[in-house]
Amino acid sequence: MHFRQLGRSQYSVSSVALGCWPIAGITTLNATREESLATLRAAVEAGINFMDTAYAYGIHGESEQMIGEVIRDCRDQIVVATKGGIHRVGRGQEYDARPETLRRQCDESLQRLGTDRIDLYYLHAPDPQTPITDSAGAIAELIQAGKVVLAGASNLNLHQLQQFHEVCPISAVQPHYNLLQREIETELVPWCLNLGVSICVYWPLMKGFLAGKLQRDHQFEAGDGRAKYPMFQGDEWHRNHDFLDELRIIAKDLNVSVAQLAIAWTIHQPGITAALCGAKRDWQIQETAAAMHVHLTEDILSQINAAVTRRGSIVSRAAV
């Protein structure tokens, strides 16, 4: 379960990747630079060789910069994925995936990461003002120029992915997916399985909820971006907690934590190459990385699926 092929490439990536959004310090608060560096180092020590970031993670690209600092001495052991096409404007974000913007952002990402190549470069999201094929063409050129090795696309619908793939073959897609948010299973997963495209999923812990440490009476701090999502409010919140209570029982029987069970379930699903696990503390990624070694039997998977059915999937919008 530990290492998997990325698309049809030579790369082998850990089934748990470190998601480097929480260390960017924008919506997930209170992670100091030292704590973030410790989180990155803990991920490597825990056997993770796959890091996911973006040009837009951080007011000034702090996430990419810190990754660059940590991988300086082990660059060839780490598969670095970053994204272009979104940039920050203060604490907000704007979409711009014009070819000239992607070229400039890629150069800046290379510099921040302190590397001469980006292993996997995603279009972060479609830019409503730029045809998908133009953005795809720019990434194909970055591959030809040797700055990028593999192309990926995030937050695209199936039609957009098909358009992208015709201009620039995709090795990985990056949608959101977890126990309760499973929209990709109907169309996207079969498409990827058919073409040998990896699926690297974000929000495997549903922004921390499925780690089971946010109590029913949890009050989000002012500025914690999670508070705005309906799944963290009102009746949805309580129904999700009822589901979590069921997961706790299954996790206890297996002697794993709820977070480990949620991640192990994710990486057991057909077509899923990696769960991009966000963390803002070293102990968090140590805990989730251990899920790579948890084997779930058919019986356990059916128990979990029965609990999901009782809860019902959440239809949700993506991050961007």
Ligand X SMILES: NC(=O)c1ccc[n+]([C@@H]2O[C@H](COP(=O)([O-])OP(=O)(O)OC[C@H]3O[C@@H](n4cnc5c(N)ncnc54)[C@H](OP(=O)(O)O)[C@@H]3O)[C@@H](O)[C@H]2O)c1
Q: Is 280 in the site for ligand X (CB under 6 A)?
A: yes
Helix locations, the chain, DSSP H = 33-45, 62-71, 99-113, 132-144, 158-167, 188-195, 234-254, 258-267, 282-289, 298-311
Using CB under 6 A, pick the residue from 204, 251, 289, 291 that binds ligand X. 204
Question: Mask of contacts with ligand X, 95-134, x by CB under 6 A?
Answer: ----------------------------------------
Told to judge if 57 belongs to the known catalytic residues of this protein, a careful annotator would answer yes
**226 Cα distance to chain centroid:** 16
CB of 139 to ligand X, least distance (A): 15
Using CB under 6 A, pick the residue from 206, 251, 264, 289 that binds ligand X. 206
d(Cα 234, Cα 174) in Å, to the nearest integer? 29
Of 143 and 318, the one with the shorter C-beta distance to ligand X is 318
Which residue's beta carbon is nearest to the bound ligand X? 278
- Paired residues of 277 in beta bridges: 18
171: part of which helix (H) or strand (E)?
none
Using CB under 6 A, pick the residue from 120, 266, 278, 291 that binds ligand X. 278
Phi then psi for residue 178, to 5 deg, are -165, -175
Look at strands 3-5 and 12-14 and give their pairing: antiparallel
Of 145 and 223, the one with the shorter C-beta distance to ligand X is 223
19: part of which helix (H) or strand (E)?
strand 16-19
Of 93 and 162, the one with the shorter C-beta distance to ligand X is 93
Residues of the shown chain interacting with ligand X in the complex, contacts defined by CB under 6 A: 19-22, 28, 52, 154-155, 174, 202-208, 211, 213, 259, 276-280, 284, 287-288, 319-320
Query: Mind telling me the catalytic residues?
Result: 57
